[in-house]
């Protein structure tokens, strides 16, 4: 038995339906609106985060509030949260506090977002489709807890639950990555263009996940998600 097969077997034994898969050129389709469905991710963090970068790609017609990425600890349900309250606005939470980034309303296409944060300066960066927005201050000196429930498609109001279906996601999600460091501008643009990226604690090409409810893995319909 090879190392990868053994790792998949161990994951399956620990968490029932947890699987590890290369999702390159694939997407999660959240079919219903509103929905109680979500995807659980396993990151395997061992230390609190003092720096991180989160990237993902979404495709939706939703105009109501919806959660894209929710990272909760037992002490703080919005430890890391990427939330879209309405078209043209993103909220980026760290440790229960957030900053708002106002963006052009989508034109019915994929949107690629990267959000990064560093504890030492409290600087939060936000990139949309490979372009940076003005940086903002958020939670200087904070540390993000390592023992977390990480979900796509729902906002956690309690550790691993407490969902409001009217904050659920409906549409397609892809290219989810989480690094325990800040990325350089070149790497931010590389993430948008789906180019080679540094090793990540959550990586789309080796994602450990479990589907809960009506979510389907499908090939993406477009060959390229970049420009």
| pLDDT tens digits along 165-211 | 999 999 999 999 999 999 999 999 999 999 999 999 999 999 999 99
Between the alpha carbon of residue 166 and those of residues 40, 52, 89, the distances in Å are 19, 28, 17
Distance, in Å, from the CA atom of 111 to the CA atom of 11, rounded to the nearest integer, reads 31
The answer on pLDDT for 5 being more than 70 is no
Residue 226 pLDDT class (50, 70, 90 cuts): low
Angle subtended at Cα 59 by Cα 56 and Cα 61, rounded to the nearest 5 degrees: 140
Give the full edge-to-edge strand order of the sheet including 66-72: 19-21, 207-212, 38-41, 149-152, 66-72, 80-86, 89-94, 97-102
Number of residues written out for the chain = 227
The pair of three-digit structure tokens given for residue 73, joined into one six-digit string: 């600890």
pLDDT at 6 over 70: no
pLDDT value for 4: 34
pLDDT of residue 19: 81
Each residue's pLDDT tens digit, 11-57: 333 344 688 899 999 999 999 999 999 999 999 899 999 999 999 99
Domains, the chain, with CATH or none: 21-215 (2.60.120.200)
Pairing of strands 111-118, 123-128: antiparallel
The residue written with tokens 């956690």 in the block is 156
The pLDDT tens digits for 52-91 are 999 999 999 999 999 999 999 999 999 999 999 999 999 9
């Amino acid at each position: 038995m090879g190392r990868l097969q053994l790792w998949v077997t161990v994951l399956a034994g620990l968490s029932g339906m947890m699987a590890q898969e290369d999702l390159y050129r694939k997407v999660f389709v959240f079919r219903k609106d509103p929905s109680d469905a979500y995807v659980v991710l396993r990151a395997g963090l061992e230390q609190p985060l003092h720096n991180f970068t989160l990237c993902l790609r979404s495709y939706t017609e939703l105009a109501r509030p919806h959660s894209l990425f929710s990272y909760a600890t037992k002490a703080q349900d919005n430890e890391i949260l990427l939330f879209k309250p309405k078209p043209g606005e993103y909220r980026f939470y760290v440790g229960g506090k957030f900053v708002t980034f106002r963006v052009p309303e989508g034109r019915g296409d994929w949107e690629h977002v990267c959000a990064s944060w560093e504890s030492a300066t409290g600087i939060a960066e936000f990139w949309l489709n490979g372009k940076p927005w003005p940086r903002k201050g958020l939670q200087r000196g904070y540390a993000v807890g390592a023992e977390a429930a990480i979900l796509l498609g729902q906002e956690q109001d309690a550790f691993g639950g407490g969902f409001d279906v009217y904050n659920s996601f409906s549409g397609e999600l892809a290219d989810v990555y989480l690094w325990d460091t800040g990325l350089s501008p070149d790497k931010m643009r590389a993430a948008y263009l789906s180019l080679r990226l540094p090793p990540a604690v959550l990586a789309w090409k080796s994602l450990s996940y479990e589907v809960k409810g009506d979510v389907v893995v499908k090939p993406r319909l477009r060959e390229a998600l970049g420009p």
